[in-house]
Structure 1
Amino acid sequence: MIKVDNLKKQFGNEEILKGITTTFEKGKTNLIIGQSGSGKSVMLKCLIGLFKPEQGRIYYDDNAIQDMDEEQQRVLREEIGMLFQGGALFDSMTIEDNVMFPLRMFTKQKRAEMLERVNEVLNRVELDGVNKKYPAEISGGMQKRVSIARAIVNKPKYLFCDEPNSGLDPKTATVIDNLIQRITHENDITTIVVTHDMNSVMEIGERINFLKNGVLVWKGTQEDIFKTDNKDVTDFVYSSDLFKKIRDVQNKTN
């Protein structure tokens, strides 16, 4: 579980996050959604320690980052898996070496042990036999699955996904969403997904946090989001042509 208490972040005189308080539950896919510029990515970078907030506290299982010494922070980094928006694979490395990279950084395992774990996670994301290929030799959807394999190779307690469906077609995006959710449930991970994709909300939005202009204006489940009368949320949901059609059908039915 990750808890955020009164989180504030600004750059110069511009306040980006304006006192956010929320909880991200263990074993659930927790989403941060909102329009571009709402503060989603800044919040994510605060959570993983890339940005230092001006105010507020971030707790990992009741341990505040702000109170951790250097060794405790190092241990925490080992417990975090990160799926970057663009995948962030190393083009000059094979798939095998890309996935093995965190093991080389954070463990002292022998190569045979690391290779066994690499093959295990590649199998988990249904990519057997691609070890010696390079990222340019596989599709975008396969690259994203390699990125997921790399993110979970160290058996993280916390998984962060920044726009995991960016650049993917709808069918492949659904595959990635469902894979993230299955891995979350199977391994009881605290997973946080930053997205503006309503399809992701419908696929895996077990706990949803909606940001607007740096403020947490709504939170709930994927079932709740279609029942709310919060105008900011409904404007966001029905900005998609698909969901406008769903609403029109629902109105005609009623």
Structure 2
Amino acid sequence: MQASHRDFPFYGGDPVRISLWGWLVVLALLAAGFAALLLSPSLLPGRLGGWIGVGLFVLLPMLGLRMATGRHWAAMFHPPTARDVWIGLAFAPLTLLMSAAVAVGVMRVGLTSANPVGAILLKLQGADLALFVAATAPQLLGEELVTIIPFLALLTALSTHKAPRKVAILVAWIGSAALFGALHLSTYQWHLGQALLIIGTARLVLTIPYLITKNLWSSTIAHIANDWIGFGVILLLTALGYG
């Protein structure tokens, strides 16, 4: 399908409408995948537990979509075009700038907590560092699923209740970003402002490539590029003596 003719899948019956029970199955497996991401490293310490958690984080929601939609489970994914790629890449630095601007405001009114990934990065070198960075890519795909699937579920619910399309998209966009921020509360020591404002703002920007292209690969590219640029900044500042 050409990029200009794409629409959000499922909510309007294209390529298939997901029933209420179907959405409940998808969301239940999405939650199970997120739980696996959090719990697997403690149940199976070491790299194996981490990889199993990431694998389940990605595969369980896809299984839910397969159960709810049959062969149409991959309707969120399209072969990425050059337009999909450059839109994704363009929004990566914009995400960093927006979240940094909000972070400055949040830090002025209260304390924030550092992202533990920074400390992990600084302990690694060479092949271990490269492997760690590369391993974040599938997890970030999972984070796109944990955002865009609720977006589509909200869009479906609002459209079913005859909400205007633009209103439904706006509410689903903000709601899914708020959920994404809330899922990061434990990462940032339960700092509500940091999770909902800083992470939530970053998520709003990261979702825009999907809103434009209707292709999950585009927002995934934006997310991976955003985080990898952030990793590079941390390592560069440390190398320059600012860490």
TM-score by length of 2: 0.26
Q: Identify the structure with the greater helix proportion.
A: 2
Q: Identify the structure with the greater strand proportion.
A: 1
TM-score by length of 1: 0.25
